A and B are shown apart, each in its own frame.
Chain A
């Protein structure tokens, strides 16, 4: 899957500029699903980027594991999901030295959480590179119950926690790594517009 091209959007939405090599400096890499291809492209561009890389991969049903392992990162591990990657990822962020680069590639929800963690750990924003690959599902925070619903592909959608029908507001929080969901029928309960697929 190629890099996702998004339509021009609001200023709070992050821009995923794509991965580009910073040579053989110390690197932490986190890839999810089709994001593996962004890492493969990065290594093809400059093999030295893998020399001191710690690569964490969340397959998300894809078969990219063997190809990634073959890149010869200093450390390579596969984990079943972001939640299970979290302790290892946080440890790697805490261990990072000045000059460590972070490369993140995959879905928007995963990138959002990974970048929020990295910023909270004190990594400077300009040490982080991101590339969006794969589906365009959104990670949504319900503004009412504060619950996060993952993988939202329609507008409106049901909050997985409180059950309200929410519309997808084009407003993004880096701290939460999520878009905002707001009750769509607050003024006229039960009057819900037709469900549409979310566009990139």
Chain B
């Protein structure tokens, strides 16, 4: 498959669009007609051909535009990318992981030549060619984590492991669902999840942490998370909430299908070899309601999930105010028919 990269924006005039192929491969997050939190982790060892699970780091038609949007966000707020001093080795681990896997999975887009510690990286979509010395940060234009995450779709956190906990000690966070790296950096697993309602009482985080502390090299895991976003905006950060917040109130019954997006995060977790840290890419996919309903199963199911979601979760995910309009819109695509198990289109 030859990829064509879209020329599109995630702010201002919002020219972001999904091609019909991109809609078909959208990672619809609901495998049944209702939703509640769970530790829904599975091995990240490939998946259905053409799906976002097929390759280790999915590259799609939005790659170039997403990297351009990240550059704009970083220019306005460099604190979106931070790494505590002890995390540089983990940054190199992550750079190695991304470069080697992308070069293997997408040989027509990325090439990596290695001669001992002298590396030569070619990124064709972004027109980057870089020769550098592995583990020598002075040979890159910026730190290793920043360097590679400016070329990798999704937000990325690097979690240090010590004292029986995970610590968010580095990250590149420019397309977040309303959390602040600058505030959360240095926090442990329970601390950075503190604002999430219900899940603590359910023991979700205790179980997830126990699992992750034992994550093994070469056996990455994945899960899907989701929320709702008005307009195809990647930078829904708390930092800029006072700038994008008013857009949330522009939904009308007439434009909801076009302006309301289901935002899905494909989260993967990777044990890193030298630092024993965990890399945590959070890849964001956006799909408008009117594109979702082109898959009849998804239209029916999304209607039922959002209609029946506890109010607390709708509030936490930030769409309680628009939920009635969303549910009304989706209702016309729900004929009451049964839906098949699993997330894929019929």
Per the 8 Å Cβ criterion, residues 1-38 of A in contact with B are 10-13
Query: 1/0 per position for A20-58, CB-CB distance to B under 8 A?
Result: 000000000000000000000000000000000000000
Which of A13, A171, A173, A183 has a CB less than 8 Å from the CB of B245?
A183
Out of B185, B194, B241, which one reaches A144, CB within 8 Å?
B241
Taking CB atoms and an 8 Å cut-off, the chain A residues in 117-150 that contact chain B are: 141, 143-144, 146
Q: Determine whether the beta carbon of A164 is less than 8 Å from that of B180.
A: no
Q: How large is the interface on A (under 10, 10 to 19, 20 to 34, 35 or more residues)?
A: 20 to 34
B61 within 8 A of A: no
Taking CB atoms and an 8 Å cut-off, the chain B residues in 256-283 that contact chain A are none
Query: Does A175 sit within 8 A of B, measured CB to CB?
Result: yes
Residue of A nearest to B180 (CB): A143
A186 at interface by CB-CB < 8 Å: yes
Chain B residues whose C-beta falls within 8 Å of the C-beta of A10 in the assembled complex: 194-195
Instruction: Give B33 Cβ to nearest chain A Cβ, in Å.
Output: 30
Q: Chain A binding site: helix, strand, loop or mixed by DSSP?
A: loop
Chain A residue nearest in CB terms to B84: A175
Indicate whether A110 reaches chain B with its CB closer than 8 angstroms. Answer: no
Are A186 and B195 in contact, CB atoms less than 8 angstroms apart?
no
State whether B195 touches A169 (Cβ < 8 A).
yes
The reply to whether B245 and A170 form a contact with Cβ atoms under 8 Å apart is: no
In the bound complex, CA of A12 to CA of B193 (Å): 8
Please indicate the chain A residues that have their CB under 8 angstroms from the CB of B183 in the complex. Answer: 141, 143, 171, 173, 176, 180
Nearest neighbor of A141 in chain B, beta-carbon distance: B183
Give the Cβ gap from A190 to chain B, nearest Cβ, in Å: 11
Q: Is B249 an interface residue (CB 8 A)?
A: yes
Which chain B residue has the least Cβ–Cβ distance from A182?
B238
**B-binding residues in A (CB < 8 A):** 10-13, 141, 143-144, 146, 164, 169-176, 180, 182-183, 186-189
